[in-house]
Amino acid sequence: MTRIDDTFARLRAEKRKAFVAYVMAGDPNYETSKQIVLGLPSAGVDVIELGLPFTDPMADGPTIQLAGARALAGGQTLEKTLDIARALRATGDQTPIVLMGYYNPIYSRGVDRFLSEAKEAGIDGLIVVDLPPEEDEELCLPAQEAGLNFIRLATPTTDDRRLPKVLTNTTGFVYYVSITGITGAAAAEASQVAPEVARIKKATDLPVIVGFGIRTPETAQAIAEVADGAVVGTAIVGKIAEGRPVNEVLDYVRTLADGAHRG
């Protein structure tokens, strides 16, 4: 059992939905990013997705691409990203942290070294968007052997023939992408998401968490009502890009978390 598994077991027992927040490590700078992450649990976040900046983020829209570019320009590295996780764990907080990004920085680090350091830093799971199930031996299976969850994305184009392959070796939760295209491209619609979530849940006992296109507490609530929880990334990163103070960013996150928890 990982912290992710424990969190979802607790939420099920409490009959509550999950709120997952994504932020880019190192955006707008290392210290501010760290302070935001440290404040996320008290803002109601159940799972933290910590973005690993990369030079070619093909699945990300302009807002998150620019966040990654700012982070890299400010000197953010994989090591500094793990340091943010270490800082949260040093407080004693047990909120799960999922490292989300692309395979290249992990490959460059070396898989064995990366997994050892990630585990030591307090990372609980990975979302690596450019590694399909056919490449599970590269990272997915070694990550699970190291005690990390490997979370997979399902999309509106994941049909019934493809879905079993996507779910194979997926642990922790399934991240359902509510729209086709890049992050931040459109608004999520609960009426369209509900049948897709139901279809996925027929094929797995894992929680199904929905992301992409959620910007308001009302949408977070509507999505959480038809899924096991909601993810917000682009909207939060957008507030950071506007130069909002840490407390204002966290206040905004709290409204989203409250919305999802009402679901």
What pLDDT is attached to residue 186?
54
Of 27, 46, 60, 196, which one is the catalytic site residue? 60
**Structural domain boundaries, residue 66:** 3-261
CATH code, domain with 187: 3.20.20.70
The pTM of the full predicted model, rounded to 2 decimals, is 0.95
Number of domains in the chain: 1
Q: Which residues pair with 99 in a beta bridge?
A: 50, 126
What pLDDT is attached to residue 182?
46
Q: Is 49 a catalytic residue?
A: yes
Q: Is 60 a catalytic residue?
A: yes
Residue 168 pLDDT greater than 70, yes or no: yes
Token duo for residue 241: 């890009």
What pLDDT is attached to residue 180?
57
Q: What is the Cβ-side half-sphere exposure of residue 106, based on CA atoms within 13 angstroms?
A: 25
pLDDT 10s digits, 196-235: 999 999 999 999 999 988 999 999 999 999 999 999 999 9
In 230-253, which positions are buried (b, 16+ CB within 10 angstroms) versus exposed (e)?
Answer: bbbbbbbbbbbbeeeebeebbebb
pLDDT 10s digits, 133-147: 999 999 999 999 999
Of 49, 136, 196, 228, which one is the catalytic site residue? 49
* Mean pLDDT computed over every residue of the chain: 95
pLDDT 10s digits, 54-109: 998 887 889 999 999 999 999 999 999 999 999 999 999 999 999 999 999 999 99
What pLDDT is attached to residue 17?
98
Rounded CA-CA distance 226/190 in Å is 7
Burial class (CB in 10 A: 0-12, 13-18, 19+), 119: middle
